């Protein structure tokens, strides 16, 4: 992994996501331009010190020198945008697969150089357009692809955030700082950071291509060097019309990515903040609520699920919190969070017995745990 040192937000997400299915193991990294910070991050991650590199070049050079069965298979690039192209190209040329954060590069021209390197190297290049990974986004795409909605007429996509409502980019917020710096973010601010997600999702799910755009960019926060608010009208290749809204100054909004697509027969709606639900509306019958794990899903969608019906993905994290607290307790950490244990077990068993005794008796009120029913 390149980037993602302690404190970085998206790096930790990549690490957990890669670990979730056991397909990947993090074995090497150059986590920061600060060699010492890189070392500490690697240590915290339990990596062997000799594979925690002070620079990206060192990583490429030394990993390439390892025997094929020992060296890394792929590189995850989670740095600011200006490093995507040079690192991706170097990584591909060195024979590694590359999984890269979006946007792809600083400009279309630069992105095309990555494309060329990927082709030449015969290596895989992945981009973290994460929202394509939600099971019900795939369900939406499949429904449209098989014609359930008929010919598509409308595509509305919006991505509302509020975290840049104040000038935090000049108040030392690292995340905000590089995202509003043309030298590190590229041509677009909000446009590149989340406008690209909205656009990719709209084309990915609709299966259509935007032919022309009419747009309005704004920078609402004084002194900000890149756009923080995007509005655009879209015309798709089949004649469908669209609206795209992406903003980072919608004060009070969290991560409001929402897609609505309407065709001749009906429409669908998916919202990232409730990702396990897909609403289908119909011209001639009641709307349907399609749920992750529920009836009516395409097999390809079900293959993307890890939890049973009604258990939001997030259930795994809840579970993980218990495992984490349990480990902390075992390590004897003084600030270990509480976790359910013996007392909870005894109480719930007492409850089971009290309920059964009461339900089978004429006794109206039965004491829980008193044993009078044993």
Residues 68-97 close enough to bind a second copy by CB under 8 A: 73-74, 97
* Residue 321 found at the interface with a second copy (CB under 8 A): yes
Instruction: Tell me how far apart the alpha carbons of residues 66 and 43 are, in angstroms, rounded to a whole number.
Output: 21
Backbone angles phi, psi at 332, to 5 degrees: 70, 25
Cβ within 8 Å of residue 14, ≥6 positions away: 1, 4, 76, 78, 99, 128
Window of 6-14, 35-43, 50-58, 59-67 that interacts with a second copy by CB under 8 A:
6-14
Give the whole-angstrom CA distance, residue 95 versus residue 41. Answer: 25
For a second copy, which residue of 6, 17, 177, 181 counts as binding (CB under 8 A)?
17
Q: How far is CA 145 from CA 227, 263, 354, in A?
A: 34, 12, 54
Told to check if 111 binds a second copy by CB under 8 A, we report yes
Eight-state DSSP code of residue 212: E
144 part of the interface to a second copy, by CB under 8 A: no
Strand pairing report for 229-236 and 210-218: antiparallel
Residue 7 as a binder of a second copy (CB under 8 A): the answer is: no
Min. distance of Cβ 58 from a second copy in angstroms? 24
Alpha carbons 341 and 270: distance in angstroms, whole number: 39
Distance between CA 26 and CA 1 in Å, rounded?
A: 7
Is residue 126 a contact residue for a second copy (CB under 8 A)?
yes
Closer to a second copy by Cβ: residue 66 or 213: 213
Residue 222 found at the interface with a second copy (CB under 8 A): no
Tokens representing residue 282 in the block? 């119909």
| Contacts to a second copy from residues 327-366, by CB under 8 A | 327-330, 337, 339-342, 344-356, 358-366
Q: Return all residues near 107 (Cβ < 8 A) that are at least 6 apart.
A: 186, 187
Q: What are 224's two structure tokens?
A: 């900000």
Tell whether residue 225 is a contact of a second copy (CB under 8 A): no
Beta carbons within 8 Å of 313's beta carbon, 6+ residues apart: 135, 275, 276, 292, 305, 306, 307
Which CB sits closer to a second copy, 55 or 277? 277
> Does position 120 bind a second copy by CB under 8 A?
no
CB of 30 to a second copy, least distance (A): 19
Task: Using the minimum distance from each CB to a second copy, give the nearer residue, 62 or 175.
Answer: 175
Q: How far is the CB of 334 from a second copy (least distance, A)?
A: 14
> Cβ of residue 186: shortest distance to a second copy, in angstroms?
7
Least distance in angstroms from the C-beta of 167 to a second copy: 11
Q: Which two tokens stand for residue 87?
A: 């690192």
Phi-psi region of 340 (alpha: psi -120 to 50; beta: other; left: phi over 0): beta
Is residue 301 at the binding interface for a second copy, with CB under 8 A as the rule? no
When binding is defined by CB under 8 A, the residue of 75, 144, 179, 229 that contacts a second copy is: 229
State the nearest-atom distance from the C-beta of 111 to a second copy, in Å. 4
Nearer residue to a second copy within complex by CB, 30 or 202: 202
Binding to a second copy by residue 291, rule CB under 8 A? yes
Q: Chain centroid to CA 41: how far?
A: 22
**Interactions with a second copy, residue window 248-277 (CB under 8 A):** 249-256, 262-267, 272-276
Helix (H/G/I), strand (E/B), else coil: 277 = strand
The answer to whether residue 183 forms part of the interface with a second copy (CB under 8 A) is: no
Helix (H, G, I), strand (E, B) or coil at 293: coil
Tokens for 129, please give them.
């357009």
From candidates 61, 183, 241, 302, binder to a second copy by CB under 8 A? 241
Site for a second copy in 189-218 (CB under 8 A): 191-192, 195-196, 199-200, 203-204, 209-218
Which of 72, 75, 104, 144 binds a second copy (CB under 8 A)? It is 104
Q: Which of 75, 74, 39 is nearest to 54 (CA)?
A: 39
Residue from 23, 50, 69, 171 in contact with a second copy (CB under 8 A): 23
Q: Does 145 bind a second copy (CB under 8 A)?
A: no
Q: Kindly report the backbone phi and psi dihedral angles of residue 326, in degrees, each rounded to the nearest multiple of 5, phi listed first.
A: -60, -45
Q: Which of 152, 349, 158, 174 is nearest to 268 (CA)?
A: 152
Question: At which residue do the structure tokens 């990915």 appear?
Answer: 204
Q: Tell me: does residue 287 bind a second copy (CB under 8 A).
A: yes
Smaller CB separation from a second copy, 57 or 251: 251
């Amino acid at each position: 992994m390149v980037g993602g040192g302690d404190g970085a937000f998206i790096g930790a997400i990549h690490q957990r996501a890669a670990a979730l299915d056991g397909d990947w193991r993090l074995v090497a990294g150059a986590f920061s331009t600060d060699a010492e910070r890189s070392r500490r991050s690697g240590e915290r991650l339990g990596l062997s010190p000799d594979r925690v590199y002070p620079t990206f070049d060192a990583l490429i050079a030394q990993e390439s020198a390892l025997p094929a069965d020992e060296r890394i298979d792929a590189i995850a690039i989670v740095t600011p945008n200006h490093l995507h192209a040079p690192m991706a190209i170097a990584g591909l040329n060195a024979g590694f697969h590359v999984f890269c954060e979006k946007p792809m590069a600083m400009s279309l021209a630069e992105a095309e150089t990555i494309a060329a390197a990927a082709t030449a190297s015969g290596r895989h290049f992945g981009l973290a357009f994460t929202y394509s990974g939600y099971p019900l986004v795939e369900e939406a795409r499949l429904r449209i692809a098989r014609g359930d909605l008929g010919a598509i007429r409308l595509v509305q996509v919006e991505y509302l955030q509020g975290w840049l409502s104040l000038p935090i980019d000049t108040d030392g917020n690292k995340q905000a700082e590089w995202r509003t710096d043309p030298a590190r973010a590229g041509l677009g601010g909000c446009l590149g950071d989340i406008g690209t997600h909205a656009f990719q999702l709209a084309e990915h799910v609709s299966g259509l291509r935007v032919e022309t755009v009419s747009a309005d960019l704004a920078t609402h926060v004084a002194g900000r060097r890149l756009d923080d608010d995007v509005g655009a009208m879209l015309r798709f290749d089949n004649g469908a019309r669209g609206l795209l809204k992406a903003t980072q100054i919608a004060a009070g909004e969290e991560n409001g990515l929402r897609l609505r697509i309407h065709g001749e027969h009906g429409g669908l709606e998916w919202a990232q903040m409730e990702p396990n639900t897909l609403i289908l509306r119909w011209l001639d019958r009641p709307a349907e609520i399609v749920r992750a794990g529920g009836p009516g899903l395409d097999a390809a969608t079900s293959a993307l699920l890890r939890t049973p019906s009604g258990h939001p993905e997030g259930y795994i994290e809840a579970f993980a919190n218990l495992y984490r607290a349990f480990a902390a307790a075992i390590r004897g950490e003084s600030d270990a969070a509480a976790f359910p244990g013996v007392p909870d077990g005894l109480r719930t068993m007492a409850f089971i017995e009290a309920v059964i005794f009461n339900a089978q008796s004429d006794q109206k009120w039965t004491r829980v745990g008193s044993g009078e029913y044993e």
